[in-house]
Amino acid sequence: MKIRMSLSRRKTSLIICLGFSYLLSVAQQPSIERIEPPFWWIGMNESNLELLFYGKNLGDFKAYSSVPGLEIINTISIENPNYLFVYIKMDSNLKEGVYPLLLKGDKDKEISVLYRFDKREPGSASRKGFGWGDNIYLLMPDRFANGNPSNDDIDAMVEKADRNNPNGRHGGDLAGVAKYLDYLKELGMTAVWLNPIFENNQPHYSYHGYAITDLYNVDPRLGSNEEFVRVVKQAHQKGLKIIMDMVFNHLGDQHWMIRDLPSSSFIHRWPEYTPSNFRSTTIPDPYHSEYDYQKMINGWFDRHMPDLNQNDSLLADYLIQNSIWWIEYSGIDAIRMDTYQYADKDFMARWVNRIKGEYPDFSIVGELWVEQKALHAYWMEGNYRFGNYDSPLQFLTDFPLYIALRESFLDKEKGWEKGVERIYYCLAQDFVYDEPRNNMIFIDNHDLSRFYSIAGENLQKFTLGLVMLYTLRGIPQFTYGTEQLMTGLESDGHGLIRGDMMGGWPNDPVNAFEAKGRNKQQQKAWELISSLANWRKSSNVIHSGNTRHFLPENNVYSYFRYNENDTVWVILNYGDEEALVETGRFAEMLGQHRRGHEIVSNREISWGETLTLQPYQALIIELIP
């Protein structure tokens, strides 16, 4: 009997031939439904490859290869006979092409499989990720723009589009992202971080992408694998990098692998549903109890998000290879890893090192939702830490600075360690980092209250936050819709703070992607963000310069970014009254300078012994000799 099976969504095809010396009932017939990775590449640094075969009754099969340069290392059967894991070794002389693999079972059962090896794109291993000079734009594809309404509802996908439901799918897609790449470039962005684009065939909340049901396929309501590759290429042509959001801590409970679990060791099991305690302090804590530690790393993130056990070697290899497959296949420049500290830390270190082994200049940023600086710094490459753990993670999301920024606006009382002093005290602790500039800084993101709401919907306070975002040490991350002055608090629910971009849908009454569709305040915000982001792109002193700051006095905070050639003076009035600032205290940085080019207003400014600041005014001054 011959069975031809096409896996077109994986951009490959397999031919499977089954030979029997006796008649099997339909229920007993072995079959293959999936092979993952669906194909691979020659010329990779790592020569070993794990192949996952999934189908029916594969447990008693062994793999064989007659291809020179393609060696079977091991065949592993596990609890569930529907799975078979095969490890192969590729010789350095193996050429691109399609090669046969033979699976042999008992009683003369045979399955012949053709597996494809492609040639790597030139320069693939030497791709450059993001760095200090980048401006990152975070967008949620379902909420950004609907470029292809025909894929809003897919028969095979459970949840349908409903823009009236803040927690439902709204129809944004990759076509919408492609449509507005020029818009992002004009805004001053250099990199785009997409929330997860993988299939999320969950009955509810599938829009955000974090309950993945297929790690090798784009959600068809967003587009296809091929379409994502085109978006990456289009972005690169416009000078934009693409950051892919990944999740190794958990899957959606409707993932095909969870619905037919390979073995009991693939997920963390509890007698009853047990959520994580969400206390990542237990990981570096030298006094932690084993109970608290295990609940943190092995508890489930949510009821519909089973917690993965990365200590299972088969699963660990599967996850590592999946990320490498997407890098090589799609051409992405970086990965943002969700819930980084919730997964096994030794596995995460192994994963980072494996990626760096294949792509030395690739960028990985871990989501580290940790408020305390020392506990946060534990995860950064090159830092001192308790015990023997040596983190290789280069970039971290800077939640300690975010908390300081947020609370500085929410404090009703100003003064000692309140208001703007929170930022000063936070930055004063940067000694805990080997390289503080490797922090990704932000004023909001897809999980947090909208910054315009935090700023009290006050454009002057809003400007203070934007000035700090684009002048403090670190890599600025900007959230979609902030330029449209989107509002919403965490207490309102994630579905509301993740609103739709105005103008992203064909029948939207207002299109704020265009200047003519913005109101006066939105236009001011857009011009501010565009001017700051575009200025920052070419300001090396902001990218890599040193920082010197001065104690806040009377709600005024001042800091300098400087190198051997240039100095930028940033001065912020957090008060609701005019401030007369004596400039003499900044003499060590100002020297004889008495004038400069002010970026926010785009004009020359001068000062004498004093400088007057209006309420909530922010100045960025490039010193002029």
Tens of pLDDT, residues 501-514: 999 999 999 999 99
Identity of the residue numbered 74: N
**Model confidence band, residue 387 (pLDDT cutoffs 50, 70, 90):** confident
Which H or E run contains 525? Answer: helix 520-537
**b/e for 518-548, b at 16 or more Cβ within 10 A?**
beeebeebbebbebbbbbbbebebbbebebe
pLDDT of residue 492 exceeding 60, the answer is yes
Q: Are residues 403 and 389 in the same domain?
A: yes
What are the φ and ψ backbone dihedral angles of 200, each rounded to 5 degrees?
Answer: -130, 75
Instruction: Give every CB contact of residue 607 below 8 A, 6+ residues apart in sequence.
Output: 583, 594, 595
* Chosen domain end from 64, 91, 119: 119
Rounded Cα distance, 379 and 247, in Å: 17
Rounded Cα distance, 425 and 420, in Å: 9
- 271 located within any domain: no
Determine the average pLDDT of the residues in 189-214.
99
**b/e for 453-464, b at 16 or more Cβ within 10 A?**
bbbeeebebbbb
- 303 located within any domain: no
Q: Are residues 319 and 365 in the same domain?
A: yes
Within 248-312, residue ranges assigned H as helices are 256-259, 290-298
Sign of the CA dihedral with 156 first, then 159, 164, and 166 last: negative
pLDDT of residue 58 exceeding 60, the answer is yes
- Catalytic residue annotation: 338, 367
pLDDT of residue 26 exceeding 50, the answer is no
- 298 located within any domain: no
pTM of the entire structure? 0.95
Identity of the residue numbered 518: R
Q: Are residues 569 and 536 in the same domain?
A: no
DSSP state of 281: G
* Chosen domain end from 119, 152, 170: 119
Q: Are residues 83 and 157 in the same domain?
A: no
- 290 located within any domain: no
CATH number, domain containing residue 604: 2.60.40.1180
- 391 located within any domain: yes
Determine the average pLDDT of the residues in 95-114.
95
Q: Are residues 102 and 143 in the same domain?
A: no
SS3 content of the chain, % helix, strand, coil (to 5): 30, 25, 45
pLDDT in tens, 236-289: 999 999 999 999 999 999 999 999 999 999 999 999 999 999 999 999 999 999
Q: Are residues 257 and 146 in the same domain?
A: yes
Determine the average pLDDT of the residues in 597-611.
97
* Chosen domain end from 69, 84, 119: 119
pLDDT of residue 71 exceeding 60, the answer is yes
Domain span at 14 = 2-119
pLDDT in tens, 394-430: 999 999 999 999 999 999 888 788 999 999 999 999 9
Within 299-419, residue ranges assigned H as helices are 313-330, 345-358, 373-377, 399-410
**Model confidence band, residue 386 (pLDDT cutoffs 50, 70, 90):** low
Rounded Cα distance, 548 and 431, in Å: 13
Length of the chain, in residues: 625
Determine the average pLDDT of the residues in 199-220.
99
**Model confidence band, residue 4 (pLDDT cutoffs 50, 70, 90):** very low
Rounded Cα distance, 557 and 404, in Å: 14
Query: According to the model, what pLDDT value does residue 27 have?
Result: 52
Which H or E run contains 428? Answer: none
- 301 located within any domain: no
Q: Are residues 443 and 494 in the same domain?
A: yes
pLDDT of residue 106 exceeding 50, the answer is yes
**b/e for 254-267, b at 16 or more Cβ within 10 A?**
bbebbeebbeebbb
Q: Are residues 328 and 256 in the same domain?
A: yes
Determine the average pLDDT of the residues in 104-124.
95
Q: Are residues 59 and 15 in the same domain?
A: yes
Rounded Cα distance, 490 and 448, in Å: 6
Q: Parallel, antiparallel, or unpaired for β 567-573 and 618-623?
A: antiparallel
pLDDT of residue 18 exceeding 80, the answer is no
Determine the average pLDDT of the residues in 527-542.
99
Q: Parallel, antiparallel, or unpaired for β 546-553 and 556-562?
A: antiparallel
Query: According to the model, what pLDDT value does residue 3 have?
Result: 32
Structurally, the chain folds into a number of domains equal to: 3
Identity of the residue numbered 191: A
Peptide bond connecting 37 to the previous residue in cis, omega within 30 degrees of 0 = yes
Report the candidate in 57, 64, 106 with the shortest Cα–Cα distance to residue 81: 57
Query: According to the model, what pLDDT value does residue 388 have?
Result: 78
Computed over every residue of the chain, the mean pLDDT equals 95
Determine the average pLDDT of the residues in 442-448.
98
DSSP sequence for 167-191: TSB----HHHHHHTHHHHHHHT--E
CATH number, domain containing residue 192: 3.20.20.80
Report the candidate in 523, 492, 517 with the shortest Cα–Cα distance to residue 502: 517
**Burial class of residue 565, CB neighbours in 10 A (0-12, 13-18, 19+):** exposed
Rounded Cα distance, 444 and 450, in Å: 6
Rg of the chain over Cα atoms, rounded to whole angstroms, equals 27
Q: Are residues 141 and 237 in the same domain?
A: yes
pLDDT in tens, 455-490: 999 999 999 999 999 999 999 999 999 999 999 999
**Model confidence band, residue 10 (pLDDT cutoffs 50, 70, 90):** very low
Query: According to the model, what pLDDT value does residue 108 have?
Result: 84
DSSP state of 308: B
Determine the average pLDDT of the residues in 142-157.
98
- 222 located within any domain: yes
What are the φ and ψ backbone dihedral angles of 596, each rounded to 5 degrees?
Answer: -170, 170
- 285 located within any domain: no
Rounded Cα distance, 1 and 110, in Å: 11
Rounded Cα distance, 463 and 617, in Å: 8
Q: Are residues 435 and 518 in the same domain?
A: yes
Determine the average pLDDT of the residues in 150-175.
98
Rounded Cα distance, 625 and 605, in Å: 13
Q: Are residues 54 and 112 in the same domain?
A: yes
pLDDT in tens, 28-57: 789 999 999 999 999 999 999 999 999 999
- The beta strand positions in 450-555, using DSSP E, are 475-479, 546-553
pLDDT of residue 12 exceeding 50, the answer is no
pLDDT of residue 6 exceeding 70, the answer is no
